[in-house]
Amino acid sequence: MLEAAHHYAAVARAIVYVRTHARRQPSLAEIAAAAGLSEHHLQRVFSAWAGISPKRFLQVLTKQHALAALRESADLLDAALEAGLSGPGRLHDLMVSCEALTPGEIKSGGGGVELRHGLAATPLGLALFGWTPRGLCHLAFCDGDEAAKLATLRADWPAANFVQDDAGAAQLAARVFPTAPQAGRLHLLLKGTNFQVKVWEALLRIPPAALVSYGQLAAALGRPEAPRAVAGAVAANAIAYLIPCHRVIRESGENASYRWGVERKLALRAWEAGRAGA
């Protein structure tokens, strides 16, 4: 996991460079130099991290690929939602289920709850995990801002009893990002309005490497007039990756902002595409 996190840092540098110079289609040598690697090392890092070549990786990040994925997603989204919003989703062989806090529990700010938290390496960099006896409630990727991320978690649960547990976070990271498919169940504890929870449950149904637009998601939820409200709910998600808000993009194929950085959103998409292909 530590090696994968290290590889992600190089991948992120490459993505920043490609996004900045996309119009002139930089060469592999230029991208490798920007990532601080040789061309051969870049090839090896991409293959080990993403499961696909740098060329295929960059193709996945293009607008053309995104538009094609959106065209294919309509039937996929309808079928996923018909299976039921509240049922379990699938992450590899790991079953992901969820429940929502009650309004009273939200109002109390986590009073009487023991909330354990810790930092752990993931394939997408260092992440802050937060969990209670009822399930994982927070997963935030960090970029040297660990203290700020922890402050956000504390603000979301102001009355909870916080306990640092980095070992527990490492165990969770191994379950969320397994090196090989594994059986089991991971429970999520969601803190949001009824509408937000419905949007997050819908996202749990979207398969890895698939993309949907805000408008498609709003229509599938029976709220075609509310893509902005859907976008707000997507942005409010506090559980990165597992509730896959990175799979939602604009109808134009462009990437909207992402709570944990647009480069990471792009990396997640390409990383999932590589794993899906494998």
* Catalytic residue selected from 98, 137, 142, 245: 245
Strand order in the sheet with 125-132: 89-91, 94-100, 184-190, 135-141, 125-132, 114-122, 161-164
- Judge whether residue 168 has pLDDT over 70: yes
Task: Give me the pLDDT at residue 87, please.
Answer: 39
CA-wise closest residue to 133 among 111, 156, 114: 114
- Judge whether residue 161 has pLDDT over 90: yes
- Judge whether residue 217 has pLDDT over 80: yes
The arithmetic mean of pLDDT across residues 154-168, rounded, is 97
Question: Model confidence over 35-60: pLDDT tens digits?
Answer: 888 988 888 888 888 777 777 777 77
- Judge whether residue 26 has pLDDT over 90: no
Question: Model confidence over 73-82: pLDDT tens digits?
Answer: 656 666 555 5
The arithmetic mean of pLDDT across residues 235-245, rounded, is 95
Task: Give me the pLDDT at residue 1, please.
Answer: 67
Stronger pLDDT, 89 or 118, i.e. the higher one: 118
Confidence of residue 91 (pLDDT cuts 50, 70, 90): very low
Percent of the chain beyond pLDDT 90? 44
- Judge whether residue 23 has pLDDT over 80: no
Average pLDDT, the chain: 84
Task: Give me the pLDDT at residue 93, please.
Answer: 46
- Total-model pTM: 0.85
The arithmetic mean of pLDDT across residues 94-101, rounded, is 81
Stronger pLDDT, 54 or 176, i.e. the higher one: 176
> What CATH number is given for 65-277 in this structure?
1.10.10.10
Range of lowest pLDDT (70-84, 163-177, 178-192): 70-84
- Judge whether residue 86 has pLDDT over 50: no
The arithmetic mean of pLDDT across residues 86-110, rounded, is 72
What distance, in Å, lies between the first and last C-alpha atoms of the chain?
Answer: 19
The DSSP result for the chain, as a single string, is -HHHHHHHHHHHHHHHHHHHTGGG---HHHHHHHHTS-HHHHHHHHHHHHSS-HHHHHHHTSHHHHHHHHHHHHHHHHHHHHT-TTS-EEETTEEEEEEE--HHHHHHTSTT-EEEEEEEEETTEEEEEEEETTEEEEEEE-SS-HHHHHHHHHHHSTTSEEEE-HHHHHHHHHHHS-SS---EEEEEEE-S-HHHHHHHHHHHTSPTT--EEHHHHHHHTT-TT-HHHHHHHHHT--BTTTS-GGGEE-TTS-----TT-HHHHHHHHHHHHHHHH-
Q: Is there a catalytic annotation at residue 98?
A: no
Tell me whether residue 199 is exposed, middle or buried, using C-beta atoms within 10 angstroms of its C-beta: 0 to 12, 13 to 18, 19 or more: buried
Domain boundaries, the chain: 2-60, 65-277
Confidence of residue 85 (pLDDT cuts 50, 70, 90): very low
Cα gap 210→82, rounded to integer Å? 17
Question: Model confidence over 100-150: pLDDT tens digits?
Answer: 999 899 999 999 899 999 999 999 999 999 999 999 999 999 999 999 999
